[in-house]
Amino acid sequence: MEKIFAIINQMEADGVIGRYAIGGAVGAVFWLEPITTKDVDVFVALPTAPGSTLLTLEPIYEYLLAHGFAPEGQFIVIEGWAVEFVPPGTPLVEEALVQAVERDVNGVATRVCTAEHLAAICLQVGRPKDHDRVIRFVEAGVLDAELFEGILQRHDLMDRWRKFQDTYLDS
């Protein structure tokens, strides 16, 4: 996994991508117990071409293919892992990307979304596996309640959070 982080760091240094942050299940593993997953989600700011507002993943694919990595659907396979580069699709993910924190993995620096942002994204996406992950975040005691509620308020997720608590947390 460290090799993947090193490659993404190099992409950032080479200007192929802007700021990045690890999200999804791999991002959650930085805060929780290991959770099995098939892919690595990388939230990424994409540089736009001069005079254009169009965002495209093409430079990422071109760069990685030139470095010998293979595409597989929307993923690029790096070190046996399906890696997906995801431009932020919501203001919440944009904020998660901006406020992501640096972490060291066996001597390799990387950037990961905060636990509070990952939990809020799960709440917003709202699939059963996302709800399960929110419960894990709560049970692990890794969420700063004030930070988390601040995020939920900014992104209009308080109603959803109250319903979630009624359904899953109140006994």
Answer for which of 20, 31, 148, 161 binds another protein (CB under 8 A) is 31
167 binds another protein (CB under 8 A): no
Tokens of 144: 């700063």
Cβ neighbours around 111 below 10 Å, total: 20
- What phi and psi values does residue 134 have, to the nearest 5 degrees? -60, -45
How far apart are alpha carbons 89 and 96 in whole angstroms?
A: 11
Cβ neighbours around 158 below 10 Å, total: 12
Answer for which of 9, 37, 99, 124 binds another protein (CB under 8 A) is 37
Nearer to another protein by Cβ, of 73 and 141: the residue is 141
127 binds another protein (CB under 8 A): no
Under a CB-based contact definition with an 8 Å cutoff, are residues 69 and 170 in contact?
no
36 binds another protein (CB under 8 A): yes
Answer for which of 57, 77, 105, 147 binds another protein (CB under 8 A) is 105
Tokens of 120: 């809020």
Residues in contact with another protein, shown as a per-residue x/- string from 40 to 79 under the rule CB under 8 A:
----------------------------------------
DSSP symbol at 30: T
Q: Using CB under 8 A as the criterion, which residues of the chain lie in contact with another protein when the complex forms? A: 1-2, 26, 29-38, 103, 105-106, 136, 139-142, 171
